[in-house]
């Protein structure tokens, strides 16, 4: 990084003497711009490698600036964490903002080419404009950071599991159509296994049952149930046998075809076990955070979604209000100004974490299915539904309310916990 001698510069002092530093973060390096009010360029944009020597030089440069200095950068993937954390530890004011806010700032035009230098200047200009509103960045505790990383892996694993699930069903449509719908028992809590998947690993074609007598199949099914720790009943045995006898496959029980189904089932089981392992680790990590019990006691939240909520929201105290947290995660509606008419009936903005919105959607589905009594979120959902709101409108409105309740409860728990330490 170039050695800029700030002291040798002729510095113009303004009433607030503000130094706004915009950092456009990318993988491996960042571009830095330093501005003062009225467009004064203190230091022309320059690149900083994400190395110890370059970050130390950047911190030294910032500390030499006379007056009040604030650093602003976008929350870009995981790239911003190292530089934001380092500068924070150097007692430098750092604010990490939603990239959408920077993108919307000052308008956009397709005719202006996007460059790192121009982006860093734009971020610095944003800092000057919203100087008093900038929130100081606080590094996530190691537990929260680990939980968020685990959730990112979990989201990827779920996608892979879904793909493997669809692949297996498409093969079974040829060899044993409908068998996946015959088993209604939930996934096993100990390892996440689903009975129908384990079953087709052993009986991958309807001919493997229909060509047996009921007595022979019952013997094999009993042996399979005991081996895989599933409960055996004669009624379920007879139901499966009758289904197989009536089943019509579109391919033979050729060795290669059976092999394909078995391999597909094994891949799905592997993906399922991976998801279950990550989920268990997320619960272990999340349980060490003070708000764990409070979150788990919220209706519709269990071990599957609780840690995901905690991972995506983090410490809610980083938001100054309930309105701020719902806006950050995209549960605020944008105003539609047309002439003298202003409406708020537009769809949610969908800014922020998509993973959180998917998790909240699952919780709303639980509420719809279980219809809990005297639950404020469910009551609000039904109220909006009775008003004739569109499905996604009342779901999102209820998710907004849930998020506000979450914010208030968890914030209180964390404040109490902090006072006790």
DSSP string of 157-183?
Answer: HHHHHHHHHHHHHHHHHHHSTTHHHH-
Residues 6 or more apart in contact with residue 391 via CB below 8 angstroms: none
Closest C-alpha to 282, from 99, 144, 110: 144
* Ranges in the chain annotated CATH 1.10.287: 144-280
Q: Can you spell out the DSSP letters for 68-128?
A: EEEEEEE--TTHHHHHHHHHHHTT--EEEE-HHHHHHTT---TTSPP-HHHHHHHHHHHHH
Q: At what angle do helices 255-286 and 195-202 cross, to 10 degrees?
A: 150
Higher-confidence residue: 314 or 7?
314
Name the CATH topology of 6-139: Nucleotidyltransferase; domain 5 (3.30.420)
When pLDDT is averaged across residues 206-219 and rounded to a whole number, the result is: 96
d(CA 147, CA 85): 18
- Which stretches of 278-369 are assigned E, i.e. beta strand? 336-338, 341-343
Q: Look over the chain and give the mean of its residue pLDDT values, rounded to a whole number.
A: 88
Cβ pair 283, 307 in contact under 8 A: yes
Res 375 pLDDT > 90:
yes
For 144-280, which CATH class?
Answer: mainly alpha
Mean pLDDT of 337-341: 43
Q: How large is the angle between the packed helices 391-420 and 376-386, nearest 10 degrees?
A: 160
**Is 0.85 topped by the overall pTM?**
no
Residue in the block written with tokens 């006898």:
245
pLDDT of residue 1: 57
pLDDT value of position 99 = 87
* pLDDT tier for residue 261 given thresholds of 50, 70 and 90: very high
Query: Which stretch of 29-43, 244-258, 347-361 has the lowest confidence by average pLDDT?
Result: 347-361
Cα angle value 199/216/230 (rounded, 5°): 35
Residue 243 pLDDT exceeds 90: yes
Evaluate whether 128 touches 263 at the Cβ level (below 8 Å): no
d(CA 46, CA 23): 10
């Amino acid at each position: 990084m170039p050695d800029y001698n700030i002291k040798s510069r002729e510095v113009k002092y303004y009433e607030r003497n503000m130094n706004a530093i915009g950092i456009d973060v990318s993988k491996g390096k960042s571009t830095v711009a330093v501005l003062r009010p009225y467009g004064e360029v203190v230091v022309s944009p320059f690149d900083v490698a994400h190395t110890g020597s370059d970050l130390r030089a950047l911190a030294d440069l910032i500390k030499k600036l006379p007056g009040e200095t604030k650093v602003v950068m976008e929350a870009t993937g995981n790239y911003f964490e190292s530089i934001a954390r380092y500068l924070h530890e150097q007692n430098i004011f750092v604010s990490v903002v939603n990239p959408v806010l920077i993108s919307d700032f000052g308008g956009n035009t397709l005719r202006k080419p996007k460059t790192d230098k121009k982006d860093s200047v734009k971020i610095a200009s944003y800092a000057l404009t919203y100087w008093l509103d900038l929130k100081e960045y606080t590094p996530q505790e190691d537990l929260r950071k680990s939980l968020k990383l685990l959730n990112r892996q979990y989201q990827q694993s779920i996608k892979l599991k879904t793909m493997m699930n669809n692949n297996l069903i498409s093969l079974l449509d040829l060899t044993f159509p409908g068998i996946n719908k015959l088993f209604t028992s939930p996934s096993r809590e100990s390892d996440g296994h689903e009975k129908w998947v384990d079953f087709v690993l052993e009986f991958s074609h309807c001919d493997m049952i229909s060509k047996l007598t009921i007595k022979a199949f019952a013997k094999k099914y009993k042996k399979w149930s005991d081996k895989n720790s599933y409960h055996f009943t004669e009624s379920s045995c007879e139901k499966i046998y009758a289904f197989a006898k009536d089943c019509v496959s579109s391919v033979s029980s050729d060795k290669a075809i059976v092999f394909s189904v078995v391999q597909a089932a094994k891949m799905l089981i592997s993906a399922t076990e991976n998801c279950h392992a990550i989920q268990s680790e997320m619960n272990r990590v999340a349980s060490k955070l003070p708000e764990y019990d409070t979150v788990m006691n919220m209706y519709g939240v269990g071990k599957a979604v609780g840690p995901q909520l905690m991972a995506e929201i983090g410490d809610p105290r980083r938001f100054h209000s309930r309105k701020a947290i719902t806006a950050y995660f995209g549960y605020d509606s944008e105003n539609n100004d047309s002439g003298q008419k202003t409406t708020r009936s537009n769809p949610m903005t969908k800014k922020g974490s998509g993973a959180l919105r998917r998790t909240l959607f699952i919780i709303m589905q639980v509420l719809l299915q279980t219809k809990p009594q005297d639950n404020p979120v469910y009551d609000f959902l039904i109220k909006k539904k009775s008003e004739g709101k569109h499905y996604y409108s009342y779901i999102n409105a209820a998710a907004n309310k849930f998020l506000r309740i979450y914010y208030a409860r968890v914030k209180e728990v964390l404040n109490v916990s902090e006072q006790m330490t």
